[in-house]
């Protein structure tokens, strides 16, 4: 007998969803989609069937989808109409699990309270991740919900990779490097033996490049270092976040009279590619622009990503391959080419035709292997939900 597993990935302006039918441990996707444009004049619900055939495209009333909770209600009605009943369980992507949650967990009121206490560590993501959990818990407390954490995959990084050079008391209080995008990296690690078996057991840098961006060192499929740290601000430049930043900049802004809320807004909403270009946070817009600042932003992005690949290779004692994933990593061939050109000294060279076709293997003959592997965080969440259901049955 099959069970339906619903996966929700809720953000500030969109909610992604996938519904899987599980039988005998195998997952078959019934449909997927997203509610986008929450809080804008043109919100929509888009859905695709099992074979990615268009299933629905609904223009939502902007007056009724001004915030996430309203979007959740609209999505819930749509899903109920297409399911014909309740799922066996709901899985949620949650960005920050802190020091305590190092694996997926079934959520009750006590767990939810602990996760809400982590909101200051991921203010751009955590409130939106938790909103549908809170809503379902209030309406259907008997329905199993499982939180799956972006930090969990990195929880067993070596101590040196987890540390900041700060007083021990702060480290003991949880001020440490957590790493993020773990569900994506975990999915890629699971795909490597099938897609790229020659590097699956070796030293691989995975670059998760999207609106949020990071890179991870996978040694035999396990995370041993990541560019992100205590929060999702660190490491690579992102759409609106700066990435690597001298902590003295924050002190300077505070000394100049900026409030914590103002500084947070600058760092989470006004920096990154948007701040550098003054045009857009979207790589597609920057690639289409002829403005010098657009070129500067892309060059900076490639420069810092190439630096990160080299640093992560150092953490592993060498490099056997590179994988690009996520929205920019999977689709922006010019950006991949810019990054690879800066890594030529490491033995990377792309085949232009393969790169333009988006892989899976995009490296030239004689090059260190370079792949494009689409990520699927929602499928990873579904697998974790099944594991939790089995262990708590």
- Identify the DSSP state of 94: E
Mark whether 351 is an active-site residue: no
What is the three-class DSSP state of 235? coil
Q: What is the rounded CA–CA span in Å between residue 136 and residue 26?
A: 26
* Structure tokens that stand for 49 in this block: 């069937």
Q: What is the rounded CA–CA span in Å between residue 388 and residue 365?
A: 44
Q: What is the rounded CA–CA span in Å between residue 199 and residue 364?
A: 16
Among candidates 188, 181, 190, which has minimal Cα distance to 150?
A: 181
Among candidates 85, 223, 251, which has minimal Cα distance to 158?
A: 223
* Structure tokens that stand for 194 in this block: 């099938």
Q: What is the rounded CA–CA span in Å between residue 211 and residue 188?
A: 18
Catalytic pick from 52, 57, 108, 150? 150
**Ramachandran category for residue 32: left, alpha or beta (phi over 0 → left; psi -120 to 50 → alpha):** beta
Active-site amino acid positions: 150
């Amino acid at each position: 007998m099959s069970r339906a597993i619903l996966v929700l990935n809720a953000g500030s302006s969109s909610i992604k969803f996938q519904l899987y039918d599980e039988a005998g441990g195998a997952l078959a996707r019934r449909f997927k989609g997203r509610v986008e444009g929450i809080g804008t004049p043109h919100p929509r619900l888009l859905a695709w069937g099992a074979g990615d055939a268009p299933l629905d495209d609904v223009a939502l009333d902007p007056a009724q989808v001004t915030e996430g909770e309203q979007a959740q209600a609209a999505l819930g009605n749509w899903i109920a109409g297409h399911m014909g009943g309740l799922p066996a369980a709901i899985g949620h992507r949650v960005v920050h699990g802190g020091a305590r949650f190092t694996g997926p967990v079934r959520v009750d009121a006590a767990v939810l309270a602990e996760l809400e206490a982590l909101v200051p560590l991921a203010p751009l993501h955590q409130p939106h991740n938790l909103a549908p959990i809170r809503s379902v818990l209030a309406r259907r407390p008997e329905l199993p919900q499982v939180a799956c954490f972006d930090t969990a995959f990195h929880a067993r990084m070596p101590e040196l990779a987890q540390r900041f050079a700060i007083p021990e008391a702060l480290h003991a209080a949880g001020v440490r490097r957590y790493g993020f995008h773990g569900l994506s990296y975990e999915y890629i690690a699971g795909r490597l033996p099938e897609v790229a078996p020659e590097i699956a057991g070796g030293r691989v840098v995975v670059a998760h490049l999207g609106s949020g961006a990071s890179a991870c060192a996978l040694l035999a499929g396990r995370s041993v270092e990541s560019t992100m740290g205590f929060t999702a601000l660190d490491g690579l430049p992102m759409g609106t976040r700066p990435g690597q930043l001298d902590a003295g900049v924050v002190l300077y802004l505070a000394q100049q009279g900026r409030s914590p809320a103002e500084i947070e807004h600058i760092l989470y909403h006004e920096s990154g590619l948007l701040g550098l270009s003054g045009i857009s946070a979207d790589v597609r817009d920057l690639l289409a622009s002829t403005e010098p600042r657009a070129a500067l932003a892309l060059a900076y992005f490639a420069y810092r990503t190439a630096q990160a690949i080299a640093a992560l290779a150092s953490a592993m004692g060498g490099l056997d391959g590179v994988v690009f994933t996520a929205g920019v990593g999977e689709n922006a061939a010019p950006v991949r080419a810019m990054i690879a050109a800066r890594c030529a000294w490491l033995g990377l060279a792309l085949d232009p035709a393969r790169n333009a076709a988006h892989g899976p293997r995009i490296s030239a003959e004689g090059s260190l292997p370079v792949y494009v592997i689409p990520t699927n965080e929602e499928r990873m969440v579904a697998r974790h939900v099944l594991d939790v259901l089995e262990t708590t049955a």
